[in-house]
Homo-oligomer: A and B are copies of this chain.
Amino acid sequence: MSEILQRKTTVSTPVAAFRRAPAKAAAQLEGADALELVELFFFAYRDFVGDADRLLENYGFGRAHHRVLHFVHRRPGLTIAALLETLKITKQSLNRVLKQLLDAGFVEAHAGVVDRRQRLLYPTPQGAKLARELAALQSERFLRVMEELPPAARGAASQFLFAMIDPNERERVRAHLARARRKGGPS
């Protein structure tokens, strides 16, 4: 069931709780095993963002730029307000990063047609290219993971991640994904 977690020299698997004691899972989880999940999540995220970080260095950009470019690419025509809500940062924080992306020609802003106060953000061709490269890097990790995982576990990954999101944020996330599907398309 968890071959990938096994060392060649038989040693205990990273997180054994769910297999070890299926009956008393909820009780036993609390102490040590949830802690292991916490740590795995930490390590996984650390490596996950590392991929993109290395590419971004070549452009003089950081993670903040990545996030902005990513969401603008995913939802062309995104407003400042929508971006702020997605990123959960202040407009002052966003502005520094966004200005750099605008100046460097990776993102464009156009006045909204229905509401001219709004600035609708679009990736430039150059921005779209970088966004695709970054997305490819991170997607590759997921692709590799899905290949490694037993087929039964594959669908579980997205369920798991979605369940990890704050319940009161889920609707927003769902809305974002729905809009990205309409707008961004196959890219």
A residues whose Cβ falls under 8 Å from a Cβ of B = 1-2, 4-5, 7, 11-12, 14-15, 18-19, 22, 25-26, 29-32, 34-48, 50, 67, 74, 88, 135-136, 138-166, 169, 173-174, 176-178, 180-181, 184-187
Contacts and interface: CB of A to CB of B under 8 A. Distances in A.
Ranked 6 nearest A-B pairs via Cβ: A34-B139, A15-B158, A156-B156, A153-B156, A44-B164, A40-B161
A136 B29 CA distance: 11
Contact of A149 (B46, B74, B159): B159
A153 B161 CA distance: 11
15 contacts: A5-B162, A14-B177, A19-B155, A25-B146, A32-B186, A34-B142, A35-B180, A38-B139, A39-B180, A40-B161, A40-B165, A43-B173, A47-B169, A48-B164, A150-B159
Q: How many copies does the complex hold?
A: 2
B174 A7 contact: yes
Contacts of A173: 14, 39-40, 43
A177 B11 contact: no
A130 B133 CA distance: 41
A160 to B, nearest CB: 4
Nearest to A74: B35
A161 B35 contact: no
Given A31-B187, A35-B139, A11 B161 contact: no
Contact of A158 (B18, B25, B48, B159): B18
B158 A145 contact: no
Which residue of A29, A30, A162 has the most chain B CB atoms within 10 A of its CB atom? A162
